[in-house]
Amino acid sequence: MTKTLNIAMIGGGFMGKAHAMAYASMPMFFWPAPAIPHRKVVVDVTDELAEAARQRFGFDEASSDWREVIARDDIDVIDICTPNNVHAEIAIAAAKAGKHIICEKPLARGGEEAKAMLDAVEKAGVIHMVAFNYRRTPAVALAKKYIDEGRIGEILNFRGTYLQDWSADPDGPLSWRFQKKIAGSGTIGDIGTHVVDLAHYLVGPISAVSALTPTYIKSRPLQSGGVDKLGASEKNSGAPRGEVDVDDEVVSMLKFECGAIGSLEATRNGYGRNNFITLEIHGTKGSILFNYERRDELQVMFADDPADARGFRTVYTGPAHPYGEGLWPIPALGIGYSETKIIECYDFFNAIASGEQPSPSFADGYLTELVADALITSGETEQWVKVQSLTAADKRTAVPA
């Protein structure tokens, strides 16, 4: 019989919403489900916020004390939806308590923290996963399938972008995402790591980077309350301002272990771009294009198509593609953010049920942090920076290249 697993979710903001929706919906999509997620406890920073989250997100209980919750015997899974600065502390405690862990991205504020987290989960033998949901987009999974099957040959060049404009206005508030002590970095950690994760997933480990990492807007209005509303935040040009000490943008070149080269560009100041995650991958036998803003589609070109009918095919993902059996019965009924999170949830519970680490594990998240560290260092030194390699031990739960 399908097992039910009790979840304690730490953090009841935007990400909490997405995760709670996925817990409720996953078995409806992927049935029989590998396990049934049960929304047991939600934790937020005050009792009031926690109680509000409980009602909204359909949990049994509310708490403002995550340590206490982690200590409970009836909790199977810890879900970390907090700002980056407490990921490590919570994850390490959860690992010690023998809980399976899903942690929002980026895994940590840098490689050092991530390594401690990895060591903790490895030692505890629990299942661990980082919530890089974009690789769960069926079109991205289809790209992976084409690549693994050799249908575009050896990869020569990878181009990844993540362009947004929600912080292009200098009067957007100084949320935690602009503060190094909480976020670790700016665009690099917030959105650049998504691209790094996609690069690792599709091409393999990045071995060296060269980057520019400007901060365009040096100060922003202080925020009362600290709520993080991203693109929905109000502008307040009259408020006192605090310093921004993270990058607004990263423009970079990449080298991969497999010999491919490429580039990564991420910004939150690119007017007109909303959630513009794109991939362009050139291989020796074809190419792949992806644009998350049109995420139902994958474009693929096969070089051996007949000369008079050669060009990018626009494939709308559906029943014939990865995860198709659980989603909608016709392509383009529509993949939204919800569906990416439902698939993520499915893969995570599959991993728990099977006992096999999912990808991206904390090892993958750690490697991504090492790339982020290298990007930061390169931005400071304006030199190529090698990415530290994972040890054999670290790699035990990393995704195969």
Quote the least distance from Cβ 95 to a second copy, whole Å: 28
Other CB atoms within a 10 A radius of the CB of residue 224 amount to: 9
**How many CB atoms neighbour CB 378 within 10 A?**
22
Which residues from 113-172 bind a second copy, rule CB under 8 A? 142, 145-146, 151-152, 156-157, 159, 164-166, 168-169
SS3 category, 245 = coil
**Closer to a second copy by Cβ: residue 179 or 269:** 269
| Only segment of 16-24, 40-48, 120-128, 343-351 that touches a second copy (CB under 8 A) | 16-24
Minimum Å gap between C-beta 41 and a second copy is: 16
25 part of the interface to a second copy, by CB under 8 A: yes
256-295 binders of a second copy (CB under 8 A): 261-263, 265, 267, 269-276, 280, 282-287, 289, 292-295
**Closer to a second copy by Cβ: residue 9 or 92:** 9
Contacts of a second copy in 320-379 (CB under 8 A): 320-321, 324-325, 328-340, 342
**Residue 185 interacts with a second copy (CB under 8 A)?**
no
Sole binder of a second copy in the list 4, 6, 21, 171 (CB under 8 A): 21
| 67 lies in the binding site for a second copy (CB under 8 A) | no
- Name the DSSP letter for residue 207: E
Nearest to 37 by CA among 20, 50, 51, 49: 20
CB of 394 to a second copy, least distance (A): 27
Name the residue nearer to a second copy (CB basis): 176 or 312. Answer: 312
Backbone φ and ψ for 265, nearest 5 degrees, come out as: -135, 130
Q: Is the dihedral of CA 76, 79, 84, 86 positive or negative?
A: negative
Binding to a second copy in span 233-262, by CB under 8 A: 249, 251-253, 255, 261-262
Applying CB under 8 A, does 226 fall inside the site for a second copy?
no
Collapsing DSSP to helix, strand or coil, 265 comes out as strand
Q: How far is the CB of 200 from a second copy (least distance, A)?
A: 19
Q: Checking phi first, is residue 323 left (phi over 0); if not, alpha (psi -120 to 50) or beta?
A: left
Binder among 3, 47, 48, 56 for a second copy (CB under 8 A): 56
Token pair in block for residue 113: 């923290």
Q: What whole-number distance in Å separates Cα of residue 2 and Cα of residue 11? A: 27
Tokens found for residue 62: 């509310």
What is the distance between the alpha carbons of residues 213 and 247, in angstroms, rounded to a whole number?
6
Kindly state whether residue 24 participates in binding a second copy, applying the rule CB under 8 A: yes
Among 313, 354, 380, 393, binds a second copy (CB under 8 A): 313
For residues 189 and 370, the answer to whether their CB atoms sit within 8 Å is no
CA distance 311 to 329: 27
